[in-house]
Chains A and B, each alone.
Chain A
Amino acid sequence: AQRVTQPEKLLSVFKGAPVELKCNYSYSGSPELFWYVQYSRQRLQLLLRHISRESIKGFTADLNKGETSFHLKKPFAQEEDSAMYYCALSPGGFKTIFGAGTRLFVKA
């Protein structure tokens, strides 16, 4: 079955500390993976996608097919990074499967 697992519901870090939001997926083919973010009182929006290999707002994510993971990382967390983060998998076609989300709280 196709599934996205985000094991942490809440992650709290201090400003300036590194942060890693975990995402594991279950899919037998070559997936397309995304991270979406929802800031307080804002719409859900795309943060980054693995095919672009881009860094957005200092965040990066590497696809590890061996571990079936797509963890989101940032070396130095900022208070404005506090938000809800969703990992998502597109197995092909248009269906997208989202994880349950991780709420990141960056403390001053």
Chain B
Amino acid sequence: GAGVSQSPSNKVTEKGKDVELRCDPISGHTALYWYRQSLGQGLEFLIYFQGNSAPDKSGLPSDRFSAERTGGSVSTLTIQRTQQEDSAVYLCASSLGGTQSSYEQYFGPGTRLTVT
């Protein structure tokens, strides 16, 4: 079956512009996660969704970052007024969710964002 997909794979934008990153999770996965992978920084947790709700938004770096998920499926991460420090690979992952917290996360290929 299809894995987690993300689009676009690469995005180059000018400083100050808004960008939208999309994630299509594996069908049936109720939990969805966004991470940021910066060079030498590892994976930084941004937000996760359980269904359409986001119980934990603590990782969003600033109010320029927002995310939504509709229909318990596709999610969009929006970055407003992009800054050069937003340049990174943005990873999405999904998992079965439910009541057990240790479900394996399946990762997408990532979106490489470059802010010039």
Do A and B truly interact? yes
By a beta-carbon cutoff of 8 Å, the part of chain A in contact with chain B is 6, 9, 32, 34, 43-46, 49, 51, 86, 88, 90, 92-101
Q: Report if A95-B104 is in contact (Cβ < 8 Å); known contacts: A43-B109, A86-B42, A86-B43.
A: no
Residues of B within 8 A of A46 (CB): 104-105
Name the prevailing secondary structure of the B interface residues. Answer: strand
B35 touches which one: A92, A94, A98 (CB < 8 A)? A98
Q: Count B interface residues, CB 8 Å.
A: 27
A9, A88, A94: the one within 8 Å of B31 (CB): A94
In the complex, the number of residue pairs spanning A and B with C-beta atoms less than 8 Å apart equals 57
List the B side residues contacting A51 at CB < 8 Å.
102
CA distance A99 to B37 in the complex (A): 11
Bound CA span A96–B50, Å = 14
Is B70 positioned at the interface, with any CB of A under 8 Å from its CB?
A: no
Q: Is the CB of B42 within 8 A of A100?
A: yes
Q: Does B65 contact A (CB under 8 A)?
A: no
Q: Which residue of B lies closest to A9 (CB)?
A: B40
**B105, A98: Cβ atoms closer than 8 Å:** no
